């Protein structure tokens, strides 16, 4: 049985949640809309294989009005025409942040972002990726469960937001 590290060390988890709140504010002030932020959260969680965060952020982006088509192709976003230039630049930065060993990918992501995003938006996109990467590690190492949602056929629902994010 794994330890829910968010429960074991609540002060540390509270600080992480405060960071997430500050990052959401920074992103909004920079002009990154909620959909772009949630797409970053989802893409990073896909890369990291965090089922709990995928569940949480899929529900969040659906509440924000995201389409099934865009969610379905998010893992292959580069091969589609369904994401805006802003979203594409933010997703590239998020991927480069998630794999910090790829200096070529980092440089490419910055070069693609520069003509599309402001410095504030670049910073915000990277902070969103940094923060969701941290939450992914908390949930993966704690093995936060994702349970079937009894109210929606085929839907899922994780534990109440007491364990992560």
Model confidence pLDDT, tens digit, residues 118-151: 999 999 999 999 999 999 999 999 999 999 876 5
Question: The tokens 């589609």 sit on which residue?
Answer: 80
Residues 6+ apart with CB under 8 A from 68: none
For residue 69, give Cα distances in angstroms to 30, 65, 72, 91, 109: 27, 12, 5, 17, 24
Q: Provide the whole-model pTM.
A: 0.89
CA angle 12, 51, 4 (to 5 degrees): 35
- Please give the backbone phi and psi of residue 75, each rounded to the nearest 5 degrees, phi first: -65, -25
So what's the pLDDT on residue 15?
Answer: 98
In order of their start, the domains of the chain are 10-147 (1.20.1290.10)
Structure confidence by residue, pLDDT tens digits, 71-119? 999 999 999 999 999 999 999 999 999 998 888 989 999 999 999 999 9
pLDDT, greater one: 62 or 163: 62
Task: Provide the mean pLDDT of the chain.
Answer: 91
Q: Is the pLDDT of residue 2 over 60?
A: yes
């Amino acid at each position: 049985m794994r330890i829910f590290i968010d429960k074991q060390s609540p002060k540390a988890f509270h600080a992480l949640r405060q960071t997430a709140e500050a990052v959401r504010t920074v992103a909004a002030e920079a002009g990154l809309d909620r959909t772009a932020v949630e797409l970053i959260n989802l893409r990073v969680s896909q890369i990291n294989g965090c089922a709990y965060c995928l569940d949480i952020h899929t529900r969040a982006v659906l509440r924000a009005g995201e389409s099934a088509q865009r969610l379905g192709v998010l893992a292959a976003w580069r091969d589609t025409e369904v994401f805006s230039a802003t979203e594409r630049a933010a997703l590239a930065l998020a991927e480069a942040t998630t794999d910090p060993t790829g200096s070529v990918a980092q440089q490419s992501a910055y070069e693609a972002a520069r003509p599309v995003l402001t410095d504030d938006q670049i910073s915000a996109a990277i902070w969103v990726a940094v923060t969701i990467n941290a939450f992914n590690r908390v949930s993966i190492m704690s093995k936060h469960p994702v349970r079937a949602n009894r109210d929606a056929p085929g839907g899922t629902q994780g534990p109440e937001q007491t364990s992560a994010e």
